[in-house]
Structure 1
Amino acid sequence: MKTLSDAFEHTLKDIYYAEKALIKALPKVHDAVTGKKLKDTIAEHLEETKGQVKTLEQVFKSIGKTASGEKCDAIEGLIKETDGIIEEASGVARNAALIAAAQAVEHYEIARYGTLREWAKVLGHDEAHDLLSGILDQEKAANSKLTNLAVSTVNQE
């Protein structure tokens, strides 16, 4: 990478890979958690993530590129950590630990989307900026929902 445009495209491929990896990983998390609210939250976020992949494809199109992913070591590590929780945790600790793992993913995504949005603005990619802002708002809302669920219910158990 030598230019901001190169960094933008690389990071866009990174988050595209990450979102597609999450589509594969979230059903396992859904199966591992207990409680209707938490199961519903994970299921809703899976559907939202599928929509985000489609939105990212629009972002690629808006900058004249074909949507493609590049392996994202960060998301691979976060998924591996989540798999470890599923294998090792039990009882009430499992839900709490899986919410924490999900929030680690959300924080990663918030950082990536915030950066991408600002780079899109600087690079004059107005449509990409708007689309990425929408995804960023969704990720922040998902994180807030997880926090509220943890504080109001799961951590109390």
Structure 2
Amino acid sequence: MKTLAELFEHTLHDIYYAENAIAKALPTVSKAVTDSKLKQAFDDHLEETKGHVQILKKVFSSVGLKPEGEKCDAIEGLLKESAGLIEETSGTALNAGLLAAAQAVEHYEIARYGSLREWAKVLGHDEAHKLLSEILDEEKAANSKLTNLAVAGVNKK
């Protein structure tokens, strides 16, 4: 990649892959936790993630690209970490561990969407900028919800 446009396109394919991988992993994570509020947060985020995939399709369309994923090593590693926690951890420690792993995913998404949004603006992709801002705001809200769950009880248990 030699241009911002190429970097934008690559990263857009990367996050599309990531969102689809997250959507596939969330049901397993939700099933593994025992805290009802955390389970509900994961279930809610699954629906939000499915919505992000649909919004990303609009982003692709708005910039004249086909919605395709490109393997994202970062999300693969983060999801592998979650799978490892499910195998190696139990009880309330599992809840805290999976909550922390989910926040790592959120932080990754926030970083990616923040960059994509600003690159879209620089490249003059106004519709993509608007749509990416929408997703970024939802990712920040999801991270805040997870933080509140951690502080209000999951970590204390």
What's the TM-score once normalised by structure 2's chain length?
0.99
Q: Deviations over 1:61-89 (max 9, x none)?
A: 00011100100000000000000000011
Number of residue pairs the alignment of both structures matches? 157
Structure 1 unaligned runs (5+)?
Answer: none
Cα offset for 1:29?
A: 0.1
**RMSD (Å) for aligned C-alpha atoms:** 0.5
Tell me, yes or no, if structure 1 residue 82 matches structure 2 residue 82.
Answer: yes
- Could you say which residue in structure 1 is the equivalent of 2:32? 32
Structure 1 moving runs of 4+ over 3 Å: none
Cα offset for 1:127?
A: 0.3
Tell me, yes or no, if structure 1 residue 15 matches structure 2 residue 15.
Answer: yes
State how far apart, in whole Å, the 1-side matches of 2:36 and 2:77 are: 28
Greater CA drift, 33-42 or 117-126: 33-42
- Could you say which residue in structure 2 is the equivalent of 1:107? 107
Following superposition of structure 1 onto structure 2, how do residues 72-151 of structure 1 map, counting pairs within 5 Å? 72-151=72-151
| Aligned-residue identity in percent | 71
AA paired with 1:124?
G
What's the TM-score once normalised by structure 1's chain length?
0.99
- Could you say which residue in structure 2 is the equivalent of 1:58? 58
Structure 2 unaligned runs (5+)?
Answer: none
